[in-house]
Structure 1
Amino acid sequence: MCGRYASTLPPETMRELYKLLNNVEIVPRYNIAPTQPIVAIWEAAGRREAHFARWGLVPGWVKDPRDFPLLVNARAESMADKPAFRDPLKHGRCLVPASGYYEWHTGPDKQKRPYYITRQDGAPLALAGLYATWSGPNGEEVDSVATITVAANAQLAAIHHRMPAILLSEAEQDAWLNVRDVRAREAVQMALPLADGVLKFHPVSTRVNAARDDDPGLIAALAAAEKTPAGTGGQMSLF
């Protein structure tokens, strides 16, 4: 799953990169966790804009969000069949801009060690997501998002068996957001693992385990003497 990520893009860079029609006031974040507000991009009424939304999708048909499980991730293989994700897949596809994300590898000693995963070329990640708007009995509205996961490629499987669905090209991102012309069954085919070598990774401090910690030191690599997952041959260039 993808349960923590960083997003450090300046607002003006995000606007230009994703062709946004609005400005969004954001600050660099290094440890974004479920239930927190995140920035997500979607198109509505012909406008592509960035919005703040809760990370943890709540479908519009839910009566009381307090009684509904936290849906942080949607599995690409089953999202077209799940009641919570079927409608968002048709009408509520979004992008979640990220600089990188964290994953935990469980070693032979059963200890979980965090890794920071990002693009080899240093470019941002556009995570594929789904959004929904829940309307409360008093007229309140809450936008919420789930990020999509796929089976990990061979390179990343050394850390975890799942990875986020990441849309690399502008054409892929445009098609994902185009809910008017690109149907759900076509969108499902876009949620695929990346090829090996596109991403890289390095071990980071276990301070990332605590959502209260949020600073640049969290994405810094630990000393080279730290152990790497079995099967990587010591290579520190996964995601």
Structure 2
Amino acid sequence: MCGRYASTLPPEMMVELFKLMKSLDIIPRYNIAPTQPIAAIWEAHGRREAHFARWGLVPGWVKDPREFPLLINARVETMAEKPAFRDALKHGRCIIPASGYYEWHTNPDKTKQPYYITMEDGRPMALAGLYATWMGPNGEEIDSVATITVAANAQLSEVHDRMPAILRGNEIDDWLNVRDVRAREAHQLALPLEDGALKFHPVSTRVNSARDDDPGLIEPVTVERPEPVRKKAAGGQLDLF
């Protein structure tokens, strides 16, 4: 799953790269976490605009968002059938601009090492997402989003078994075009990137705390490989786990 990411694109670059009608007043972020407001892009009435939305999708039919589970990711394998995502796949497709994202690898000793993952060519990412607008009884509105995850490619499986769906080129246009591109067609766009399209390096465990948000979080660190976990085999001898 994708549970933290960084977005350091200047607003003017977002406008140019993603063909926006206007920009958002955003600042560089290095440790964006669920429930926080994030920048997401979708089309409405023929206009492509960036909006702030809560990371954690709340479907419009929910009665009380406080009692609804936190849905930060939608699995590509089931999103077309899940009630929480089904309508958004048809009418609420979006992208989330990112500079890179974090994933945690579980070591043999059960400790977890975070990695920062970026495009090999240094380009920004367009994470495929779904959005919904919840309207409360007093007229309040909450825009919210979830990112879409797919099975990791062979390269990324060294770190984790899932990865976000990342769109490029015309895929972005088709994904956002909910008027002409049907859900079934859009579904085929959410695929793992090919091996070699991404690169990754270990980073500080400071990223575990959402309170930390600075450029040092994305800097590579040197990590020691933990010793293999051993268990006693028959006869009292130690075998590799």
Give TM-score scaled by structure 2 length. Answer: 0.93
Aligned partner of 2:89 in structure 1 is 89
Counterpart Cα distance in 1 of 2:63 and 2:103: 33
Aligned partner of 1:237 in structure 2 is none
User: Is 1:152 matched up with 2:152?
Assistant: yes
Aligned partner of 2:188 in structure 1 is 189
- Residue-by-residue CA offset, 1:57-93 (whole Å, 9 max, x unaligned): 0000000001100000000010000000000000000
Q: Which amino acid aligns with 2:66?
A: R
Aligned partner of 1:41 in structure 2 is 41
Q: How many residues end up aligned between the 2 structures? A: 227
Q: Which amino acid aligns with 2:216?
A: G
1:37-186 equivalence runs, <5 A: 37-169=37-169, 171-186=170-185
Segments of structure 1 that go 5 or more residues without pairing to the other structure are 231-239
2:35·2:54 contact (CA, 8 Å) conserved in 1? Answer: yes
Shift of 1:32: 0.2
Aligned partner of 1:201 in structure 2 is 200
Aligned partner of 2:3 in structure 1 is 3
Counterpart Cα distance in 2 of 1:175 and 1:118: 23
Partner of 1:110: helix, strand, or coil? coil
- Residue-by-residue CA offset, 1:14-43 (whole Å, 9 max, x unaligned): 000000001210000000000000000000
Q: Which amino acid aligns with 2:8?
A: T
Q: Which amino acid aligns with 1:211?
A: A
Counterpart Cα distance in 2 of 1:187 and 1:226: 42
Shift of 1:226: 4.1
1:203·1:226 contact (CA, 8 Å) conserved in 2? Answer: no
Partner of 2:184: helix, strand, or coil? helix
1:219-230 equivalence runs, <5 A: 219-223=218-222, 226-227=224-225
Q: Which amino acid aligns with 2:167?
A: L
2:75·2:148 contact (CA, 8 Å) conserved in 1? Answer: yes
Counterpart Cα distance in 2 of 1:75 and 1:227: 31
Q: Which has the larger radius of gyration?
A: 2
Partner of 2:147: helix, strand, or coil? strand
Counterpart Cα distance in 2 of 1:186 and 1:121: 28
User: What is the CA RMSD across the aligned residues, in angstroms?
Assistant: 1.2
Aligned partner of 1:218 in structure 2 is 217
Partner of 1:89: helix, strand, or coil? helix
Counterpart Cα distance in 1 of 2:23 and 2:3: 26
Counterpart Cα distance in 2 of 1:198 and 1:136: 42
Aligned partner of 2:233 in structure 1 is none
2:152·2:163 contact (CA, 8 Å) conserved in 1? Answer: yes
Counterpart Cα distance in 1 of 2:186 and 2:75: 13
Percent identical across equivalent pairs?
Answer: 78
Segments of structure 2 that go 5 or more residues without pairing to the other structure are 229-241
Shift of 1:109: 1.0
Q: Which amino acid aligns with 2:85?
A: F
Counterpart Cα distance in 1 of 2:155 and 2:201: 13
Q: Which amino acid aligns with 1:135?
A: M
Give TM-score scaled by structure 1 length. Answer: 0.93
Partner of 1:54: helix, strand, or coil? strand
Counterpart Cα distance in 2 of 1:154 and 1:43: 33
